[in-house]
Amino acid sequence: MPVLLQPLPWDSDFLGFPVANVQNADWSNAGLTDLLLRARAQGYRLLYCFVAPGAVAAAALQECPQAVLADRKVRLRLPVLPGQPTRLPASIRPTRTYSPALRALAPQAGTYSRFQQDPHFAPTVCPRLYELWLGQALRGESGQEVLLYQPASSPVPLGFLTLREKNQRTAMELMAVEAASRGQGIGAAFIEAARCRAAAAGHTAVQLVTQATNPACRLYHREGFVLEHEELVYHVWL
């Protein structure tokens, strides 16, 4: 199959320069050289390449000076068992309000993001990106829902989770917990909330996509998530 360049209008508008996804990325060093020449001729400044570990394309990218290994992305799956309760755990409730406290929490959802790890991006890019993503979720775009964790004793939320339906599953997407409140079971409560929402929707699984380097993966595995898919994400700068 030919290697294709898929324009990404949203990313291009946000970053201020042309960005594309590389599709059918299965090529050698010579194929990568040809791809970069075509991308430059079309005016692209950044390419996203998603490749399997051990693939020929991954070896070519590893040797490419313009390529940054920005992420080792994993997709995890958690079964939802019959009889799972549908009532949300205590202190968790849905919200549509973009409060100053939630805005302050938003960048923490991107701590291990490829947009944070790639040094080519300005330091403001990742926080601004996650603030926008949270805003989209709060508006309910693409059927998203935002749950916040706020016990009665706290004047502000201590964390948030965004959910949406994806491939007949409940997908956990953005999650952040206020730094001083970590290790207190809030992440586990959010996972239980995702199970509840999945059960209410008739889904048999919860899924999430995260970075293999994210320390929260230890929590996910303890809670029963299993690895379904792994891929490397390279940023190629032109």
* pLDDT tens readout for residues 212-230: 999 999 999 999 999 999 9
Residue 71 within a domain:
no
Asked if 140 and 224 sit in the same domain, the reply is yes
% of the chain with per-residue pLDDT over 70: 99
Q: What is the pLDDT of residues 122-160, one digit of tens each?
A: 999 999 999 999 999 999 999 999 999 999 999 999 999
Apex 67 CA angle, 63 and 68, nearest 5: 110
Q: How far is CA 188 from the centre of its chain?
A: 18
Tally of structural domains, the chain: 2
Residue 153 within a domain:
yes
Place of tokens 């599953």: 169
Residue 199 within a domain:
yes
Identify the H or E element spanning 189: helix 186-201
pLDDT of res. 1: 60
Asked if 208 and 111 sit in the same domain, the reply is yes
Give me the chain's average pLDDT, please: 95
Q: What share of the chain is helix, strand, coil (3-state, %, to 5)?
A: 35, 30, 35
Dump strand ranges (E) for the chain: 4-7, 19-23, 46-51, 67-79, 92-95, 145-149, 159-166, 169-177, 205-211, 226-237
Asked if 145 and 214 sit in the same domain, the reply is yes
- How does residue 27 score in pLDDT terms, banded at 50, 70 and 90? confident
23 has pLDDT over 90: no
The whole-angstrom separation of Cα 80 and Cα 155 is 33
pLDDT average, residue stretch 9-25: 94
pTM: 0.93
Range of the structural domain that residue 13 is part of: 4-65
Asked if 144 and 203 sit in the same domain, the reply is yes
Tell which phi-psi region holds residue 14, choosing left (phi > 0), alpha (psi between -120 and 50) or beta: alpha
- Neighbouring C-beta atoms of residue 34, cutoff 10 Å: 13
Residue 39 within a domain:
yes
Q: What is the pLDDT of residues 57-102, one digit of tens each?
A: 999 999 999 999 999 999 999 999 999 999 999 999 999 999 999 9
43 has pLDDT over 90: yes
- How does residue 4 score in pLDDT terms, banded at 50, 70 and 90? confident
Spatial contact of 232 and 52, defined as CB atoms under 8 Å apart: yes
CATH of the domain at 135: 3.40.630.30
- How does residue 28 score in pLDDT terms, banded at 50, 70 and 90? confident
Asked if 87 and 197 sit in the same domain, the reply is yes
- How does residue 30 score in pLDDT terms, banded at 50, 70 and 90? confident
